[in-house]
Amino acid sequence: MKLSKTVTGRIVVGFTAFCAFSAVAAVAWIMGTIIWGGHSHISWAFLSQAPTEGMTEGGIFPAIFGTFLLVVIMSLVGVPVGTITAIYLSEYVNRESKLAQIIRFAVNTLSGIPAIVFGLFGLGFFIQFTGKNLDRVFSPDALHWAQPNILWASLTMALLTLPVVIVSVEEAIKTVPRELREASLALGATRWQTIRRVVLPGSLGGILTGAILAVSRGAGEVAPILFTGAAYFLPQLPTHFSDQFMELGYHVFIMTTQSTDVEKTLPIQYATTLVLLALTFTLNFSAIALRARLRRRRMAA
């Protein structure tokens, strides 16, 4: 007996609605568990002090500061490089050319590489190769760059988020009508002037979307910074690019795997995770608010 089209349509709608509700329920359950387990441990002292007593007392301010600094440096490097690459692929190189295919293959390959591999690459290239050569040239008698630090960790994270930025910005550039480019060129503008005054303003929302996705991806990753900069216990704040740093995700990882009493540190783990989520949401919402403001200003103009 065949089902009618109406019944089949209702089954499909119901199944898809159930899957969507399951995803929302899973997120709500996870968030509720974290908030319930960590809200009682959140205090001003916890947010503003350095850890003490083997990280079982004190606060997590060095980890908050290190995470924020990591995300900022990562975004300042990754977003411009990803945007320039997307502009080159969309506006300068022929889509069917061999060079474009090689670049796209490299981008797709980067997006599929496990995060831990980026960490090993950062250790080998930035620390063992670049850092050692910098120390050999500028400070032969001291060790500055041939060791894990926040700069190498940020550059490694920028490489990790680069495919996300490239794809999102390129898709945003494609939404700018071709007629606007042709009109600009017909009026005597150069290709770069057209990109700067027509294409980039029209795709600014997509560029900020790429930045938002990069922050979301980079703030919670731990594997790439295991070998490139994160420290187990470092109460003082990093003051130079060559300093190591504490990071919230790595802090949670250490508390859950290296603690002698996991049950005792469980409230700290929940509270640290809650702070990490709050920091990530704050950075994301700031970028979203900036994007909305720029869109309103552009529409008003």
Cross-strand pairs, 230? 245
**CA dist., res. 184 & res. 195, Å (int):** 9
Phi, psi of 230 (to 5 degrees): -70, 140
Residue by residue, what is the 3-state secondary structure of 98-141? HHHHHHHHHHHHHHHCCHHHHHHHHHHHHHHHHHHHHHHHHCCC
**What's the confidence (pLDDT) of residue 185?**
86
pLDDT tens, residue by residue, 11-51: 888 899 999 999 999 989 988 888 888 888 888 888 888 88
| Cβ 47 vs Cβ 275: under 8 Å | yes
What are the residue ranges in the chain where pLDDT is below 50?
Answer: 1
**What's the confidence (pLDDT) of residue 155?**
94
**What's the confidence (pLDDT) of residue 280?**
82
- List the chain domain ranges: 65-300
**What's the confidence (pLDDT) of residue 215?**
81
Pick the closest to residue 60 from 69, 52, 70, 50 (CA basis). 50
| Cβ 236 vs Cβ 50: under 8 Å | yes
**What's the confidence (pLDDT) of residue 4?**
66
**What's the confidence (pLDDT) of residue 1?**
47
pLDDT tens, residue by residue, 182-211: 888 888 888 888 888 888 888 887 788 788
Share of the chain residues as helix, strand and coil, in percent rounded to the nearest 5: 75, 0, 25
Match domain 65-300 to its CATH number in 3.30.420.40, 1.10.3720.10, 3.40.630.10, 3.50.50.60.
1.10.3720.10
Cross-strand pairs, 57? 52
